[in-house]
Chains A and B, each alone.
Chain A
Amino acid sequence: MVKRKLGALEKVEADLPNLQHKIRRDPKSYIEDFRAQHYQYESHREIFMAAPSAATDTGIISLRELIDFISHVADCYPEILKDFPQQLIDMLMQHHLVLEPELREKIVGSIVLLKKKDLLDSATLLHTLFPILITTPSKTLRALLFQKILSELRQANSKTTNHKLNRTMQTVLFNLVTSDRTSSKALWAIKITRELWKRQIWTDAKAVEVMKEAALSENEKVIVGGVRFFLGGDKEREDMEDESSDEETLDIGRLRHTLQINKKSKKKARVAEKAMATHKKKERKKNQPHPLNFSALHLLHDPQGFADSMFTKHLQSSRAKLNLEQKLLVLQLVSRLVGLHKLHIMSLYSYFQKFLTPRQPSVTSFLASLAQASHDLVPPDVLEPLIQKIANEFVSEASAGEVATAGLNAIREICVRQPLAMNETLLQDLVMYKKSKDKGVMMASKGLLSLYRDVGAQMLKKRDRGKEASMGLRSGEKEQRRFGQQDIGGIEGLELLEKWKEEERRKRREEKGLASDAEDDEDEEDDWAAWNIEDDDDSDDSGEWINVESDVEIELSDSEDEGKNRPSKKSKQDDAEAKEKEKEKEDAAQEAKLSTLATTRILTPADLAKLAELRAQASVESAVNGSRSRRAAQPAARHTDDPLTAAEIEGLASLSAGKATREERIAHAREGKPDREEHKSKEGRRRERKQEQGKSTTNKEKARRKNFLMTLGKAKSKNKRSLVETRAVLKAHHERQKRGGKRGNLGN
C-alpha cells in the first residue's frame, strides 16, 4: 500500500483541539470519537479517584486536557454527559486540597464554562465555589474563585436583578458572618458585598445587614472591613458611577465632519460606526431614570441599636482589643450614625472627655468625631463640659497657634449643631481671640463670632453683634432657638418663584395696557395647556379647575365667563393695590413669613421647572457675590450626609504654622490651576488646538510657511512688471477684494 501523505495536523498523535473543532461543526458524525474520549476521561477519572494526590500526568493526554475538551463540547451531547457537571463538582469539593494547581484551576474554569452553556444553574455554581473560597489555603485559587464568583453574580444580574439568587447569596454571606464571629472568614463576605455594592448590583437593606453584622464581629479585620464599608462604601459607589459616566464624551458633530473631509476607508467607517453606536447607547442611558440609591447608613434597620452595641462592644468595654486607628474608625462610624439619625448615646460624650487633650495622638479626629456626634437634640448640659474642656486645653494664649485653631474650630463645629451648648462668658472669651496675631486663630475665632451673630446674638457683647444682628434683636425677630425647636419646613426657593410670577404678571399686564397690579388667571391656564396637550380640545374640562388665589378668595375661573368676570376684577383691583402697599411696608416681616403660594395653588410642572431654574440661578449668584456671604453660607452648604473630617477641624491651622517656604508657596499656587505644560503664545496654542482637532491651517498660515525658494521666482518677476501689468494686478486684486475672495461670496 502506498504510504498516504499526512496533513500537518494529522501527524500529531493526539490532537484534542482538532477533534474539538470538528465536533463543534458536526456533532452527530463524530459521536463515536467523542464517546471514545468520554471513556478515556472516565478511565482517567477512575485512576485519579483511586489516588487523587498522586495524579502525576504522564503520557500524551492528561486528565486536565480531557476535562477541558469535554466541557467545551458538552452542549453537543447533553445526554451522554448528564452527570459530568456533578462529577467535576465532586472532584473539586472532595479533593481541592490535594489537587494539582493546574488541574484545579481547569476544573474551576470548566465548571464556570458549563454554567455558561446552561448545563448548570448559577445557584449550584455559587454553592460549589463559595465554600471552597472560604476553606482553601491556596492564594491563587482564592483569587480565581473570588473573581469567578463576582463575575457570576454580575452576569446573573446584568439583564434584570436576579432577586432569588441575590437573596440566597446574601443569606449565605449573612450566615457566614454570624456563624463564627471570631474567625476572619467573614472577610470574604465583606469583600463580595462591598464589590457588589460598589457596582450597584446589591443596593438593598440585606446587604447592609451583612455589613452591620460584620461590624459587630469579634475579629479586628472583619470589624474594620465592616466599618470601612459604612464610612466609604457609598463614596466608592459614586466614584465608580462618575468614572463610568464620564469616559470620553466624543463630539459627534466633529466626528461626522472629519469623516466627510478625511480620506474614506472601510476601517475609518467602521470606527465611526462604532463610535456612533456607543454614543447612541450613552444617550439612551442618559435618558433613563436615575436609579434611586440610598446610602448604606440610611438603609440600616435599627441605627440606635447598632450604634449602641458598636459603642459598648468596641469602644467602651475593656475587653475590646482594637488599636487606636481601628478605634478611631469605629468612633467615626458611631458618631456619624449619631449625628445623622439624631441618636442618643449619653455615655458617648463622657467617653470623649479623656481624649480631649492636645497631647492625645490624632486628636483632631477625636474632635471631628465629637462634633459629628452632636446634634440639636443632645442636651446642652452634656456638651457644655466638653466645650469647656476643649477651651481650657486647647485655646489659650500659651498654646501654639495650630492647637488653638483646632480647638476653636472644633467648638464652632459643635456649636453649629447645638448652639445652646455654649455659655455667655466662654463665648465672649473665645470671641476675644479675633484680635489674635496668629491668622489661623483669628479666622477661627471670627468664624465662631459670625456663627453666634446668626444663632445667638444676645450672648455676644454689644459691640460684637454687628449691625444686622443688633437690628434683628431690637425688632425681636432674631431670637435664640429653644432646645428641640425645629425649623418650619418649606419649599426651597418658593419665594423666588413667587417673586418671578409677580413680575411676569406685571409685565403681561403692562403689555396689554392694563394696570400692572391686577391679577388674571389666563397665564395659569396657559401653563397647564402648554403641558397637557390632550386636555387642550375640551376646554370646559380644564375650565373646571378651581384656582385658589393668594388673597384667599375662592372663585371659579371658567374660561367662558371670563368676559363677565372682568369688570368685577377691575373693581377688586383697588383693594388688591392697597394690600400690595401694605405688603411692601412690612417688607422684612414678609420675608420670614412662609410663602402661601404652595398652600394655595397647585404648582404646574412648568412652575416646578422654573423653580429649579431659579434655585440654580440663585445659588450661582450667591457664589459669585462677595466672599462674605459665601463664607456664611458654607456650613449650610455641606450636606448632612457628608462626614466631618479631621482636616476640617485643622482648618486654617496651616496659616498659623509660620511662613511657608518658596517651594511650598509655588506648590500651593499651582494646586488650584490645571496643569499647564509650557508657556506659549496664544496664537501658538490656538494652532496646536486646531491641529489636534484635525482642522487644517488657514491660507495665511500656509503662505507664511511656504518655502522661501518657492516665493523667490514670484518676487523677482514682481520687480520686472511694467506699469500696465502692475495696474492690472492691482485692479484685479481690488476687484477680488470687493467680491470677497477668489470664489466670491455674493452667491453668483
Chain B
Amino acid sequence: MGSSAKRKKEKQKDFQKPKLKVGKAKAKPENFTDTSFRSKAIVLNQQSLQLAAPTSSSQFSHHLSLLSSKSDSQRRDSLAHLTTSIASRPVNSPLPQPVSVMLPSLLPLILDANNNVRTALLKLLKTLPSNDVEDHVAQLLPYVRAGMTHLAADIRVSAVEILSWMVDAAGEAVVSCAGGWIKTFNCFLSVLGWHTEESARWSSNRASFGKSGSQGKPMVKVLGALAGFLDAGIGAPGTSVDDTVSPDDPSSLAWPFPLCQTNQHMISESAAPYAYLNLFGQPRDEEGEMYETREDRYRVFSTRFLSAVERGLKSAREEGGELGRASSSVSKVLKDALSYGAGP
C-alpha cells in the first residue's frame, strides 16, 4: 500500500547529488574513517635517586614483601633472590630474617599455580637450617596437606616433594605434631587412591579427576615420600637414620652420679614443650591429636591404615614396572616396622 511511491523515493535518495556550498567544508563521505590520533606521555616529576645502594637486609625484606606479587616471574625472582642471600650468608651467622617472619609469606606459595614458583620455593626451603624448620612444622603441614589433595596434579607432586624434604629435615617433628600422623596419612592414601577396596584395584581409574599426570613418575615420587614418612613414623628404631638416641647420650651424662635420668624431670629443650596440652588452640579430635611416641603411631596405623596400605602395595606390585619397584621400598619399611611390632 503506497509502497511504490515510497520505494521510488528511496531509490532516488541514492543518486542525489551532494550540495556544495561556498564557504563550507565539503561533507565527509559516508565511509570516512577518522585516523587522527593524539599522544600522551607520562612525566615523572620526582625520582628518588640515591647514591647508596639499599642494604642487603632491606633488600631482603623488600623481596619478602614481593612474594605476594601478582606476577609469576616476580614471585619466582624474589624467591631466587631470597635463596641466594640465605645461601651466601657467612657460615654460622643468623638468617637475615627469622624463619617465623618469613614463613607467613612463604606458606601460601606451596599452593601457587605456577610450577617455577613452587620449584623455587622448594629450593629456598632446602636452604633453611633444619633445626629452625623443626619448630615450624605444625604451621607448614596444613599447607602441605592442602597441596597434596589439590585438584591440580602438579601442585600435588610439589607438595609431596616438600613433604619428603620435611621428613628428611625434621622427621620426628612431622609425624608427632598435631594432626601430623593421621591427617597426613589420609592425604597420602587419597593421593594414591588407596582409600577403599574398590578404588585400590588396578582396573579402576584412580585419581581420575583433574589433570592426569598421576600415572608413572608422580606416583613413584609419592611412594618414595610415603616410604620416608612411614620410616619416620613407625620405622624400627634401630634402623632409621635419625633415631639413634642411645640411653646414655651426652645430656644424661652431664648430671653427676647420684642423679640419674634427671633430664626426664627437667623442662624439655624443645621449642614448645607443652604443645601436647593444647592450652590455647581449638579442641582436637582423634585425627588432629598428637601422636608423640612410636607406639601410639603404630597402634593408630595398624588399626586404621594397615589393611589399606597392604592392599595398595599389593596392587602396585602387581602393576610392576617403575611403580612396582618404588612400592618395594615402601614394603621393605613396612615389613621392618611390622617385624618390630608395637614396641620393645
The answer, yes or no, to whether B195 is at the interface (CB within 8 Å) is: yes
Q: What 1/0 mask marks residues of chain B from 238 to 258 whose CB sits below 8 Å from any chain A CB?
A: 000000000000000000000
Q: Are A60 and B142 in contact (CB under 8 A)?
A: no
- Establish whether residues B190 and A46, one from each chain, have CB atoms under 8 Å apart when the complex forms: no
Are A19 and B143 in contact, CB atoms less than 8 angstroms apart?
Answer: no
Check if B143 sits within 8 Å of A43, measured CB to CB: yes
Whether A39 contacts B282 in the complex (CB less than 8 A), given A32-B193, A33-B208, A33-B209, comes out as no
B68 surroundings in chain A (CB, below 8 A):
56, 58
Judge whether A32 and B195 touch: CB under 8 Å: yes
B window 164-219: CB within 8 A of A: 179, 183, 186-187, 190-191, 193, 195-196, 199, 206-212
Q: Which residues of chain B are near A58, meaning CB under 8 Å?
A: 68, 108-109, 111-112
Contact of A47 among B109, B143, B282 (CB under 8 A): B143
In this assembly, does B102 line the interface, its C-beta being within 8 Å of a C-beta of chain A?
no
Q: Are A32 and B142 in contact (CB-based, < 8 A)?
A: no
Does A695 belong to the interface (CB within 8 Å)? no
Q: Does A40 contact B (CB under 8 A)?
A: yes
A101 and B9 alpha carbons, distance in the complex (Å): 63
- Does residue A344 face the partner (Cβ distance < 8 Å to B)? no
Segment 10-57 of A: residues with Cβ below 8 Å from B: 10, 13-16, 19, 22, 29-33, 35-37, 39-40, 42-44, 46-47, 49-50, 54, 56
Say whether A22 contacts B152, CB under 8 Å: no
Chain B residues lying within 8 Å of A47, measured Cβ to Cβ, are 142-143, 146
- Provide the residues of chain A in CB contact with B195, threshold 8 Å: 32, 35
Q: How long is the Cα–Cα vector from A56 to B105 in the complex, in angstroms?
A: 11
A242 CB, nearest partner CB in chain B, Å: 47
Indicate the size class of the contact surface on chain A.
Answer: 20 to 34
Which of A49, A54, A61 has most chain B Cβ within 10 Å?
Answer: A61
- Select the residue from A6, A10, A32, A33 with max chain B CB neighbours within 10 A: A32
Complex CA distance for A15 and B207, rounded to whole angstroms: 14
Report how far A13 CA is from B150 CA in the complex, Å. 10
Most B C-beta atoms less than 10 A away, residue of A39, A42, A43, A47 = A43
B-side contacts of A50, CB under 8 Å: 139, 142
Q: Does B151 count as interface, using CB distance less than 8 angstroms?
A: yes
In whole angstroms, how far apart are the Cα atoms of A60 and B111 in the complex?
A: 7
Does B29 touch A at the CB level, under 8 Å?
Answer: no
What residues on B are CB-neighbors of A39 within 8 Å?
145, 148-149, 183, 186-187, 190
B2 partner residues in chain A, CB cutoff 8 A: 707
Are A14 and B146 in touch, CB under 8 angstroms? Answer: no
Given known contacts A22-B209, A32-B208, A35-B195, A16 and B146 CB-to-CB distance under 8 angstroms: no
Q: When chains A and B are docked, how far (Å) is the Cα of A707 from the Cα of B210?
A: 71
Q: Chain A residues with Cβ under 8 A from B152's Cβ?
A: 13-14, 60
A-facing residues in B229-285 (Cβ within 8 Å) = 282
B25 contacts the other chain (Cβ, under 8 Å)?
Answer: no
Judge if B87 is at the interface, Cβ distance under 8 Å: no
The residue on A at minimum CB distance from B288 is: A46
A59 within 8 A of B: yes
User: Do residues B199 and A31 form an inter-chain contact, with CB atoms below 8 A?
Assistant: yes
CA distance A56 to B143 in the complex (A): 14
Cα-based distance from A54 to B105 in the complex (angstroms): 11
Q: Which residue of the partner chain B has the closest CB to A35?
A: B190
Confirm or deny: B113 has a beta carbon within 8 angstroms of a beta carbon on chain A: yes
Assess whether B1 is interfacial by the CB under 8 Å rule.
Answer: yes
Chain B, Cβ-Cβ closest to A49:
B282
Cβ contact within 8 Å between B113 and A13 = yes
The answer on a CB contact under 8 Å between A31 and B149 is no
Distance of A574 Cα from B104 Cα, bound (Å): 114
Greatest chain B CB density within 10 A among A30, A40, A44, A707 is at: A40
Most chain A CB inside 10 Å of its own CB: which residue of B108, B111, B196: B111
Q: Which of B148, B149, B193, B282 has the most CB of A within 10 A?
A: B149
A31 touches B196 (CB 8 A): yes
B105 (CB) vs chain A CBs: closest residue: A58
- Residue contact A42 to B112, C-beta cutoff 8 Å: no
Contact in complex: A10, B150 (CB < 8 Å) = no
Q: A-B pairs with the 4 shortest C-beta distances?
A: A59-B111, A14-B151, A43-B146, A13-B152
With A35-B190, A43-B183 known, 15 other A-B pairs at CB within 8 A are A13-B152, A13-B154, A32-B206, A36-B151, A36-B190, A40-B151, A43-B145, A47-B146, A50-B142, A56-B108, A60-B113, A61-B111, A61-B151, A707-B1, A707-B2
Residues of A that sit less than 8 Å from B by CB: 4, 6, 10, 13-16, 19, 22, 29-33, 35-37, 39-40, 42-44, 46-47, 49-50, 54, 56, 58-61, 707
Residues on B lying within 8 angstroms of A by beta carbon are 1-2, 68, 104, 108-109, 111-113, 139, 142-143, 145-146, 148-152, 154-155, 179, 183, 186-187, 190-191, 193, 195-196, 199, 206-212, 282, 288
